[in-house]
Structure 1
């Protein structure tokens, strides 16, 4: 459940705009990396402190500032004065359990996304908040830890003088959002492959450990669903925004993102039904296997009922029994018991109970 929800007890009772980091504490240093580019030029900078960013204001090109690590709260206090970022926005950046949303301020746009990535070490989905602040010159992205799904976008900006190098910060923000959303398809593809493999396994030979696999798939789908459903509302709010920071050409790209989100939601709902069906197959397989075991035991017990009856009769301790003195009594009884057993087996097979 920690991947789905995080406690926020540290913020209880504090006034609005209080900068409190609600994520996991870290001893690592906050890393600030700046990418500046235009159609003909590209450069990267490692920033030691936030104050250095002021020297890039009113300079040529689009500036993408990526901040990794949110635990040093004092770093964010200067954003209000330097870039006019509202304290409530910075509070939402540090509150890393935010629902995906879009806020339109006078001088900037604020977007919150859930960035999902597959952790091969734990074989689970990592859930991280990605916050974007979009101004006329800068795009700020905030994330808790190193490693994201945006490396392909960075390489595209660096190596190709394509549309992204010619357009403004609104298109860069779209590209970041689109890359994060498209990665949901990659996660769902992996989940879909696991569902199909598990479904085939259930039909052939279900095992006790399959319940844990079904539970993990169900939890992953809940996580992706919880992250993607609010994105539809977020993108819709962007399409309805009349901010001067969004150009008319960029709206068309956001409509494409909206279509992708709808596709993702449809896939998630389909996979949820498939997981429920897999659970039904598992329960049915266990029931069928139990029925097979009970059928075999019932047949064995049924065969031995008349044999036990005969053995019970001849096990009685009466002095005068007609067959006691017969020289062939023992083999005759065994022969009769054998004939009865074989006849019952023949009868069961004829009825296709075996």
Structure 2
């Protein structure tokens, strides 16, 4: 799908012909989303887009900013959390978005549908004065800013997952809790790999290095850069929280294991003397010269059982006083 708009102060007109939109008076914005290779090639030819930059949008490369002879290429990635294979598993899904900024035109290219760009284009069609009175660099800023703002929504979802995990680790040592922790750790690592390059790419625009970025637009890109710095800090903070939750889980699991071992040790300690007693009297040397007098005693059996019971009671009292039970 190819959408072409030409806008200036107060007006925004849609065009079906790329050549006419390219030569029209005003700022030309062409948005290519979920398009065929033939449509992408047509736009690239009409605006003389560098083929390597177009290939970067097709591929899975890191965010960056590159300057060419007559335009600047900015590659950013939209990101969102999507459902995984299990009920609680989530993964970070990214979509590369290419923004080409020329002297009086801007081309946005994505091989998948992108809601943030559609919202900005809708604002232009509705006659948003903040966009109609600015040049293509400001439109590029709005596109990048909308994509970056969506990062905060993703981090809000991750924060909710972390809060649930922090509640679970103190009450449960189920394997699902550990899987949730590892899933969030993977999401944050994947998201971090997207945010760090994006911060560097926007930093080039914030400094005003490209000729297509006007001095009055630099402050807007600096604002986006500040948001990315904040997002990076939040990502690192959340990674620390998840690492802390994982440590708590492992400590809780270790403590639970220690409690089980303590109980088993107490039980084994109680049965060791009982086993000794029944082992001694189980030798049954009734006909031996060294006869065991208790074997012929009428109260031998109940006396032995009573002694064993008293021995168990003494051990239980001792273990309780020591805090083992």
TM-score (norm 1): 0.83
Q: Does 1:102 align with 2:69?
A: no
For residues 63 and 85 of structure 1, the distance between their equivalents in structure 2, rounded to whole angstroms, comes to: 15
CA contact (8 A) 1:58 1:137 kept: no
Match among 274, 287, 290 for residue 254 of structure 2: 287
The residue that corresponds to 1:217 in the other structure is 184
Q: Secondary structure, in 3 states, of the residue corresponding to 2:115?
A: coil
Structure 1 position 156, deviation (Å):
3.6
Q: Which moved more, 1:292-301 or 1:204-213?
A: 204-213
Q: Does 1:254 align with 2:221?
A: yes
Structure 1 position 131, deviation (Å):
0.7
Match among 12, 21, 28 for residue 56 of structure 1: 21
CA contact (8 A) 1:39 1:161 kept: no
CA contact (8 A) 2:64 2:75 kept: yes
Structure 1 position 81, deviation (Å):
4.2
1:103-252 to structure 2, matched below 5 A, reads: 103-120=66-83, 123-159=90-126, 161-252=128-219
For residues 223 and 43 of structure 1, the distance between their equivalents in structure 2, rounded to whole angstroms, comes to: 40
For residues 40 and 120 of structure 1, the distance between their equivalents in structure 2, rounded to whole angstroms, comes to: 43
Rg: which structure is higher? 2
C-alpha offsets along residues 25-53 of structure 1, whole Å, 9 cap, x if unaligned?
A: xxxxxx212344444234556x5xxxx21
Q: Does 1:340 align with 2:305?
A: no
Q: Which runs of 5+ in 2 are unaligned?
A: none
The residue that corresponds to 1:264 in the other structure is 231
Q: Does 1:40 align with 2:10?
A: yes
Structure 1 position 214, deviation (Å):
2.0
Structure 1 position 352, deviation (Å):
1.3
CA contact (8 A) 1:117 1:149 kept: no
For residues 242 and 331 of structure 1, the distance between their equivalents in structure 2, rounded to whole angstroms, comes to: 97
Q: Which runs of 5+ in 1 are unaligned?
A: 1-30
The residue that corresponds to 1:65 in the other structure is 30
For residues 117 and 49 of structure 2, the distance between their equivalents in structure 1, rounded to whole angstroms, comes to: 24
CA contact (8 A) 1:232 1:262 kept: yes
Q: Does 1:85 align with 2:18?
A: no
Q: Which moved more, 1:122-131 or 1:281-290?
A: 122-131
Q: Secondary structure, in 3 states, of the residue corresponding to 2:311?
A: helix
Structure 1 position 198, deviation (Å):
0.8
Cα separation, partners in 2 of 1:158 and 1:83, compared to 1, 3 Å: closer
CA RMSD of superposed structures (Å): 2.1
Structure 1 position 158, deviation (Å):
4.1
CA contact (8 A) 1:149 1:179 kept: yes
Match among 270, 276, 300 for residue 329 of structure 1: 300
Q: Which has the larger share of helix?
A: 2
CA contact (8 A) 2:5 2:21 kept: no
Q: Which moved more, 1:75-84 or 1:131-140?
A: 75-84
C-alpha offsets along residues 152-191 of structure 1, whole Å, 9 cap, x if unaligned?
A: 4344434463312221111110011111111111111211
Cα separation, partners in 2 of 1:251 and 1:288, compared to 1, 3 Å: same
Cα separation, partners in 2 of 1:76 and 1:161, compared to 1, 3 Å: closer
CA contact (8 A) 2:10 2:129 kept: no
